[in-house]
Structure 1
């Protein structure tokens, strides 16, 4: 039934009355609009666990190449997108590799604990455009609130399937998709995640320059159905001041078979966050509250053949998600954060952020009220000019502390995390 609705939506979008300029009519051609890029990414993550859990650390060098063609001219434009990924292990020693939170190189399953020295993966998708609607089939990296590929590690995840993106109505973007394979970021092969299927449907509408709303739904076969609502409002206060209100929320209805297989405590969850950011000059101050209710915590990401949901490792558009996601059963969390852009202080390209998040009321099922807190720091610098223009260096750290009840329950553990990412984008043409 869900696939039928997607097919009907595609027909409706392709036949929609044009409400703005026709992108396909303005096509310059397959070759003329083509672009190729390579991203060099050197990434290191270290997690120092404090209560018996094994420390984790991995370091690698990635080469991420992407190609996007233009569309052929005519009523129906045809094009191709492709990517090639290669990763070289620099450090991923036995005993510290294979952690779910890092997952640069998946260790072999022969009991040796060794990670591969390198891995390579590629993919391609064919795309068709009519007016302002694009249908793409093949290997893709979707970026939707209910299906967001993880690109926060060494290599990105990817999915194989069909995605329709329509912008026929000015200010409105509609997405509908059906995916049947997921490529794990730490392995070769396009179906290493074991995804059965996931259907997604929704859209984002810009009401005006200040207000944007998003509404999405997804259905992961034999796992769950998920709904998302997002609202963002920017209110100018003065020439160099503004107040931004950002609301994000998910409601999940979980399949009982998955509840039993994953050892969950229930089959329902509702989680939401509301953040208010006051920006003034180079400064920004954020206050946020996040709340999880239902009979289990918020579930997302990881891989179905490892007991995960399979909807992408970044499908959590919530304010209080750093190292901990503060998404446990019945958890309430508060955040205060400060951002500083050094451009107005004479150092363009340099930014800094610090945040403190505290969560409580975690249902640990017999171990007492659970609590956790995290201090997050991040400094990032992007080279502004010269041969190394656009080279970026990002240093990030988190200090996570939990109550004994949380550790006994197995939800989380104390630890210190350090991340170092150096990225250099190269435009080939």
Structure 2
């Protein structure tokens, strides 16, 4: 093992030496203005959730329906020329409520005002400074993050925004290294920088967090085989480790096989009810979560099967590290299938209509079934979910990239698991129009 480790280091040094001989991204900089971009994304979202047996959270209605319109304006400057480049990024975003009163709130599209009614409008702004040396970028300020152990969520009208420092290095071809420290996370309905808190959408403590440190590395071993490692340390919560291996086996021009493995290990101290998100008295946090998916592509068709396993003292916790920090196969529209000791299976089918003369149109359906969930004296928990989705993206003309997306989910849990999750029909309509101004 030691010989192999030093061999890998030698290869990395050799690769890095050859890489430095080539022009870096900073060497090719055209300047602060010439490399800048300004983009505007407009999003309409309608969301309807019908909890057939009533919502578990009595503060919200068992029937929730609302819709809104949002705009996200992002500016990214280029870097000044020279050995070290300087740049600025900025964002401004806002949303307005089109439909949805206090009696139907709870879908997470809008925050509540002082009278506990959904806000009619909301917005926030932010910015970041950045430095680039060769192919390494240091960025501080408000930003979107997509690490497996710290990922901002963009599933509603406005995205989460993290505040902190992120260092990203691509000095060696195929290898990306990253490290960051973040001190606040603005929720999707938040209009200010909030201290990082909360555990997951299931509830739990809103205790603030001093900071979260993250590290990551990804490497393309070949054009068809990639791997990634990541780790995080969230103060007062847990430490988390992540691994990914992804391999594609080309068969011919029309066929291929893909294998995708994702795994998490979460470790933390038992801190009373801080981790008792489900209110069942179980306050452990150690968890192992992994999934393995295999996908067969045949022309316009793709068939996927996946298996996922959660084990340990409790369910898999996330949320304090961003609403999207769950890179596993069976994390789908409603459920993540990460219950205590849960086993789950997925079957999925995708269809790309470009092959049939309708480019931009696609369909997807999937079914996930989970069982073996450990509950507190209620027996074996079971859950299942069926998703159906269709999306169309305009391919050309003045409305190029305008997209229409419809999502439907039917979620069910057995009697033993009803105390943890609600039967649910979930319907969403999302229309997006991204516009490049500069």
Contact kept in structure 2, 1:222 and 1:258, CA below 8 Å: no
Q: Aligned residue for 2:251?
A: 237
Q: Aligned residue for 1:6?
A: none
Match of 1:416 among 415, 422, 425: 425
Whole-angstrom distance in 1 between the partners of 2:273 and 2:169: 35
**Residue 316, structure 1, aligned to residue 319, structure 2:** no
**Residue 247, structure 1, aligned to residue 258, structure 2:** no
Contact kept in structure 1, 2:140 and 2:163, CA below 8 Å: yes
Whole-angstrom distance in 2 between the partners of 1:294 and 1:333: 15
Structure 1 residue 234, shift from structure 2 partner: 0.3
Structure 1 residue 190, shift from structure 2 partner: 1.8
Q: Aligned residue for 1:425?
A: 434
Q: Which runs of 5+ in 1 are unaligned?
A: 1-12, 302-309
**Residue 61, structure 1, aligned to residue 69, structure 2:** yes
Structure 1 residue 262, shift from structure 2 partner: 3.4
**Residue 325, structure 1, aligned to residue 343, structure 2:** no
Match of 2:161 among 149, 158, 164: 158
Match of 2:368 among 357, 365, 390: 357
Whole-angstrom distance in 2 between the partners of 1:32 and 1:276: 43
Whole-angstrom distance in 1 between the partners of 2:78 and 2:47: 37
Q: SS where residue 24 of structure 1 aligns?
A: coil
Q: Aligned residue for 1:5?
A: none
Q: Aligned residue for 1:23?
A: 25
Structure 1 residue 246, shift from structure 2 partner: 0.4
Q: Aligned residue for 2:109?
A: 104
C-alpha RMSD of matched pairs (Å): 1.5
Q: Aligned residue for 1:116?
A: 119
Structure 1 residue 87, shift from structure 2 partner: 0.5
Residue deviations 1:77-106 (CA, integer Å, cap 9, x gap): 000111100101112311221x3xx31111
Q: Aligned residue for 1:211?
A: 225
The 5 A counterparts of 1:261-410 are 262-263=276-277, 264-301=282-319, 310-322=320-332, 323-407=334-418, 410=419
Whole-angstrom distance in 2 between the partners of 1:411 and 1:165: 39
Structure 1 residue 116, shift from structure 2 partner: 1.2
Match of 1:47 among 49, 55, 72: 49
Contact kept in structure 2, 1:182 and 1:195, CA below 8 Å: no
Contact kept in structure 1, 2:272 and 2:283, CA below 8 Å: no
Structure 1 residue 287, shift from structure 2 partner: 0.4
TM-score, length basis structure 2: 0.89
**Residue 201, structure 1, aligned to residue 215, structure 2:** yes
Whole-angstrom distance in 1 between the partners of 2:233 and 2:272: 13
Structure 1 residue 196, shift from structure 2 partner: 2.4
Q: Aligned residue for 2:85?
A: 77
Structure 1 residue 44, shift from structure 2 partner: 1.3
Q: SS where residue 354 of structure 2 aligns?
A: helix
Aligned pair count? 400
Whole-angstrom distance in 2 between the partners of 1:113 and 1:183: 20
